Chain A
Amino acid sequence: MATQPAGTSQEHGGLRLAGEADPDLAGEGAGEGQPTAGVGPYRLALRRLRRNHVALAFGVIFLLVVAVSAAAPLYSRYIAHTGPNDNHITETITVSGHSENVVSTTGIPIGPTWHSRFFFGADQNGRDVAVRLLYGGRASLEIGLLAAVITTVLATIVGTTAGYFRGAVDGILARVMDVIWAYPPLLLGIALGTSLALGGLKFGPLTIRGNSLFIPALIIGFVYVPWVGKPIRGQVLSLREREFIDAARTQGMGHVRIMTSEVLPNLGSTIVVFIPLIIANAILLEAALSFLGAGVQPPNPSWGTMIGEGLQLLTAAPHLVLVPGLTLVLAVVGINVFGDGVRDALDPRAQVRLQH
Chain B
Amino acid sequence: MKLLKKIDKKDADAYFRIRTTLVAIYLLIGFIASFGVVFFAEELSGFSVNGFPFHYFMGAQGAVLIFILLLFINAITNDHIDKKFGLDQGKKK
Whether A and B are associated in the same complex: the answer reads no
Q: Report A's interface with B, CB cutoff 8 A.
A: none
Q: Report B's interface with A, CB cutoff 8 A.
A: none
